[in-house]
Amino acid sequence: MTLDSTSQLSSTLIRDSLTPTIREQLSSIIVHQTTSSTNDVLWRRLSDGDNSPAVCLAETQTAGRGRRGDTWQSPDSGNLYLSLFWPFVADLSQSGLSIAIGISLINTLKAEGINDLQLKWPNDVLVNRKKLAGILVESRYGKTQNTIVGIGLNFKLPTLTQDLINQPATSLQQLCSSLPCRNALAGKIIQNMIETIEHFQHRGLSDYLPLWSQYDALDNQAIKLISPEGQFIARACGINEQGELRYQRGDKIETLSNSHISIRFAS
Ligand code: BTN
């Protein structure tokens, strides 16, 4: 590993890699050594009445979470655990936003020379069917709708952690000859997330839909859909205009919105 990649998270270095406009708009970049979940830090900040734009990062999380209430393994091994609260007005579809953020994350990583990245609907960034990163979009409804987007990106997975993850996983260390600088990459991810949210609230998914097939890890694949009620096999066939997954079961096309159903490759 280079010195840069292992250096501690620094709000100053992250702020330095943002454009002046975003730097001015982003009130806080909070960095914790340890916290329960970076998403929760931002939810607590909102419930304390601070609704200015903010980012939270941590070196390790004691209760990192993924979709469907899964645990997001968050060892202190130089990974990225980051969450963004960015206020916006539109009533956003969660599947749609997840997809837009996923495409933005892949493009940010591609610009660092990381290739063969795909998105497994709605929010898993995969390389050769192994998970490199996950995106968690959480919305809560009070007087307004607030949304927090969390990203977990594996830089380095200790063997012990790898054993705890219940699906094939990978890390930048396994993919890159030299690791990107964590602070600079965090800055670029944050910058692109904000630009994506701004774009999405005006244009929805319209500019992302034509691109989806280039990113779609499930395209025309046999998939297993698993819910507490049971499981079945289907064939994935892209997404609809809301960003919901389309799949063929028998001779019927059905759709799935961002839900508690887990999806696995069936072959
Ligand atoms: C998933 O793939 O299920 C989503 C994983 C999201 C993990 C990130 S790590 C930073 C933020 N804080 C959390 O507790 N979860 C997200």
Residue 202 is predicted with a pLDDT of 87
Q: 183 alpha carbon to ligand 1 midpoint, in Å? A: 18
Does residue 67 have its Cβ closer than 6 Å to ligand 1? yes
The answer to whether 143 is a known catalytic residue is: no
User: Is the C-beta atom of 59 inside 6 A of ligand 1?
Assistant: no
Count of Cβ atoms closer than 10 Å to residue 131 Cβ: 19
65 lines ligand 1 (CB under 6 A): yes
Query: For the CA atoms of 230, 140, 257, 163, what is the dihedral angle to 10 degrees?
Result: -50
Q: At a CB cut-off of 8 Å and minimum separation 6, what does 92 contact?
A: 139, 145, 147, 200, 201
pLDDT at 1: 40
Measured from the CB, is residue 183 less than 6 Å from ligand 1? no
Distance 151 CA to ligand 1 centre (A): 5
Residue 125 DSSP class: E
**Residue 149 alpha carbon to ligand 1 centre in Å:** 8
Lowest mean pLDDT among 142-146, 158-162, 251-255: 142-146
| Residue 66 alpha carbon to ligand 1 centre in Å | 5
What is the phi/psi pair of residue 91, to 5°? -85, 95
Tell me how far apart the alpha carbons of residues 222 and 248 are, in angstroms, rounded to a whole number: 9
> What digits encode the pLDDT tens for the residues 22-60?
999 998 999 999 999 999 999 999 999 999 999 999 999
pLDDT at position 211 is 93
**pLDDT tens readout for residues 189-202:** 999 999 999 999 88
Burial 51-79 (b: 16+ CB within 10 A, else e): eeebbbbbbebeebbbbeeeebbbbebbb
pTM summary value: 0.94
Q: Is 156 a catalytic residue?
A: no
Choose one of 41, 42, 65 to mutate for the ligand 1 pocket test, by most ligand atoms within 8 angstroms of C-beta. 65
Ligand 1 within 6 A of 39 CB? yes
Write down the pLDDT at residue 191.
97
Find, among 135, 162, 3, the residue nearest to 78 by Cα.
Answer: 3
Is-catalytic flag, 15? no
Alpha carbons 106 and 121: distance in angstroms, whole number = 13
Q: Which of 44, 68, 140, 264 is labelled catalytic?
A: 264
